[in-house]
Amino acid sequence: MAELMGPRLYSCCNCKNQVALHDDVISKAFQGRNGRAFLFSHAMNVVVGPKEDRQLMTGLHTVADVYCSDCREVLGWKYERAYEETQKYKEGKFILEKSKIVKENW
């Protein structure tokens, strides 16, 4: 019963490792590699990979792939740097793909 009162969580689809809180969702309108993705202000129990420059739909960014800390499944990426003023708000935030995370406790 305690689970129903707890925070609403997202978990890794592969091993159910808790990776993000629903409260940290900033936007649900992002595009990931294959489908919808959510922008989170924080992610936990994830490992951040090496930085690389990528041309995304919104322009050039420096991103780092984000992996589940337990099973190493790629869940999304973290914005390290954005090169356009309008995209700066994303810096330090995480994109987790909808297909890679599942709802836990709700």
Is 93 among the residues that bind other proteins (CB under 8 A)?
A: no
- What character string, x for contact with other proteins (CB under 8 A) and - otherwise, covers 53-72? -----------------xx-
Is 20 among the residues that bind other proteins (CB under 8 A)?
A: no
User: What single string gives the DSSP state of each residue in 74-103?
Assistant: EEEEEEEEESSGGGGGGTT-EEEEGGGEEE
Write down the residue that tokens 């922008």 correspond to: 39
Q: What's the start-to-end Cα distance of the chain, in Å?
A: 12
Piece of the chain touching other proteins by CB under 8 A; list 14-22, 28-36, 75-83, 87-95: 14-22
Is 15 among the residues that bind other proteins (CB under 8 A)?
A: yes
